[in-house]
Amino acid sequence: MTLHSGSCLCGTVTFKLEGEFNAFYLCYCHYCQKDTGSAHAANLFAQSAQLTWLTGESEVNTFTLPGTRHCKSFCKHCGSALPRVEMSGVTIVPVGCLDSEISLKPTARIFMRSRASWAEGFETIPKFDGLPK
């Protein structure tokens, strides 16, 4: 069984996840744009993984957008996105909160019809290893 670890930006919340990821979606819906402040959310999905909070479980808050299935768990202190377990038992893990490496590449880009007009052609944009000078 594969073991993954993760944490929030401030380190208050830490967790481990035992199991395999079944999918890795980049979601371009309007809700994900709003809750990430970016072009898309990047979430891993695990059908039968076991999430264990190691520290800070009481510091995790979950917001559910009324009238939708959209929700986000995050650290009350730093706002970092954190895993959540859906009613169906599926664990959703924002890939950026993992401290361990994964080899899985994105499975699909979803809700492309909702993507921001500027969220295209990233291959042609200059690349830097840090802030440009």
How far apart are alpha carbons 130 and 18 in whole angstroms? Answer: 33
Residue-wise pLDDT tens digits, 28-80: 999 999 999 999 999 999 998 999 999 999 999 999 999 998 999 999 999 99
> In the prediction, which pLDDT does 92 show?
96
pTM (whole model) above 0.85:
yes
Residue-wise pLDDT tens digits, 94-110: 999 999 999 999 999 99
Residue 4's nearest CA partner among 105, 94, 85 is: 94
**How many of the other CB atoms lie within 10 Å of CB of 49?**
23
CATH annotation of 3-116: 2.170.150.70
Q: How confident is the model at residue 119 (pLDDT cuts 50, 70, 90)?
A: confident
Long-range CB pairs of 32-39 (<8 Å, 24+ gap) are 32/70, 32/111, 33/114, 33/116, 35/70, 35/72, 35/81, 36/81, 39/115, 39/116, 39/118, 39/119
Indicate the domain borders of the chain.
Answer: 3-116
| pLDDT for 24 beyond 90 | yes
